[in-house]
Amino acid sequence: MDDKKILFSAIQPSGILTIGNYLGALRNFKKLQDDYNGIFSLADLHTLTVKQDPQVLRKNTYELAALYLACGIDPEKSILFAQSHVPAHTELAWVLNTIAYPGELSRMTQFKDKSKKHEDNINMGLMDYPVLMAADILLYQTELVPIGADQKQHLELARDLAIRFNNRFGETFKVPEGYIGKTGARVMSLAEPERKMSKSDANLNAFISMDDDTDTIIRKFKRAVTDSDNKIICAPDKPGITNLLTIYSLFASVSIEDAEKEFEGKGYGDFKLKVGEAVASVIDPIRQEKNKLLADKSYLDDVLSQGADRAARLAYRTLGKVYKKVGLVPRKRG
Ligand code: TRP
């Protein structure tokens, strides 16, 4: 670790990721790891807050590790690790729990939403989720956290807890800043372009998964909802075409204006095929690389193990300080 700033990011290994996750998060990591000390985590403990099939969770965890690597995370440059491999996360979460208030946790939008969605399983972990997330971030003296808009409240809590702890016990944690990606990266459903693209959509044609192959991607774009006239331009009354142009511009790395020019006078059929091809040309090689990596579990285990060693070294430095500040007697070693 050199003196670059620390960036921390985590994704839950809870199944399908869409091109929305790619554009909003994964795509940026490769570049960010050059400008920051990147710490990338598989938030496996967070997934336990909703019911998981243990076997599927294990599979998803390897899948996500492979996907990070396939998207260009370099385990020599960055730290890639599983949250559950570094016990300091849950240890710090316990201490942070003693300064977090039930009121502020039960007010969290995501807690309320998930409580509605999983009425039969409103557990303590679901409510405590943001405290574990704060521990993830604060353990590494993180300066920057790239997040989706849905995680803004959680990041705010991490900042509040850092400040609260520092005020009570003296300077201990860096107060992290959030980085919310540009609105251009907001990808909408292919079936109902007024709604955000979601992996949990019952209509499989509404989203592009990172696991879709070229044929599937092209077929899904062919079926994408468009608008009534034939113009290929971004406009508020043309949400379908606007979404497709946005996706094209992001995947083909051209401006919206240039994309509009490129498709001037073309039909929707041609246009949708080009969008599908542009997306497939990025996603398909990633999927193939991911599958290649998945065939070598022992390599993935090694990467995660080395990542956990490096993460633990940093994490326990912070946890040691925290334990000392709150008055816990250090254990005598040797
Ligand atoms: N809660 C985040 C999500 O679902 C994942 C996450 C866990 C996270 N710990 C984190 C994100 C720490 C940023 C920092 O998207």
Give me the catalytic one of 196, 222, 321, 325.
Answer: 196
C-alpha–C-alpha distance, residues 131 and 53, integer Å:
24
Bridge partners of 146?
A: 179
Question: What's the pLDDT score for residue 276?
Answer: 98
Question: What's the pLDDT score for residue 186?
Answer: 78
Residue nearest to ligand 1 atom 6, measured at CA = 10
> What is the C-alpha end-to-end distance of the chain, expressed in Å?
28
Q: What is the pLDDT of residues 241-298, one digit of tens each?
A: 999 999 999 999 999 999 999 999 999 999 999 999 999 999 999 999 999 999 999 9
Q: What is the pLDDT of residues 140-153, one digit of tens each?
A: 999 999 998 889 99
C-alpha–C-alpha distance, residues 293 and 280, integer Å:
19
CA of 207 to the centre of ligand 1 (A): 22
The alpha helices in 204-296, defined as continuous H runs, are 214-222, 239-252, 256-262, 268-294
- List, edge to edge, every strand of the sheet that includes 79-82: 79-82, 37-42, 6-11, 144-147, 177-180
Give me the catalytic one of 30, 199, 321, 325.
Answer: 199
CA of 176 to the centre of ligand 1 (A): 14
Task: Ligand 1, residue 142: give the atom nearest the CA.
Answer: 14
Q: Establish whether residue 238 lines the binding site of ligand 1, counting it when its CB lies within 6 angstroms of any ligand atom.
A: no
Give the pLDDT band (50/70/90) at residue 99: very high
Question: What's the pLDDT score for residue 182?
Answer: 66
Examine the pLDDT at 228 and tell me if it is beyond 90. no
Q: Establish whether residue 242 lines the binding site of ligand 1, counting it when its CB lies within 6 angstroms of any ligand atom.
A: no
Structure tokens, 123: 């557990």
Question: What's the pLDDT score for residue 150?
Answer: 87
Length of the chain: 334
CA of 133 to the centre of ligand 1 (A): 6
pLDDT over 70, % of the chain: 99
CA of 139 to the centre of ligand 1 (A): 14
Structure tokens, 262: 């490129």
SS3 82: strand
Sign of CA dihedral 133, 135, 140, 145: positive
Structure-model confidence comparison of residues 334 and 195, the more confident one: 195
Question: What's the pLDDT score for residue 185?
Answer: 58
CA of 172 to the centre of ligand 1 (A): 22
Mean pLDDT for the chain overall? 95
In the chain, helix, strand, coil percent, each to 5? 60, 10, 35
Question: What's the pLDDT score for residue 156?
Answer: 98
Q: Establish whether residue 26 lines the binding site of ligand 1, counting it when its CB lies within 6 angstroms of any ligand atom.
A: no
CB atoms within 10 A of CB 16: 16
Question: What's the pLDDT score for residue 297?
Answer: 97
Q: What is the pLDDT of residues 198-218, one digit of tens each?
A: 888 899 999 999 999 999 999
Q: What is the pLDDT of residues 146-189, one digit of tens each?
A: 998 889 999 999 999 999 999 999 999 999 999 987 654 579 99
Residue nearest to ligand 1 atom 9, measured at CA = 133
C-alpha–C-alpha distance, residues 195 and 245, integer Å:
16
Examine the pLDDT at 129 and tell me if it is beyond 70. yes
Task: Verify whether residue 325 is a known catalytic residue.
Answer: no
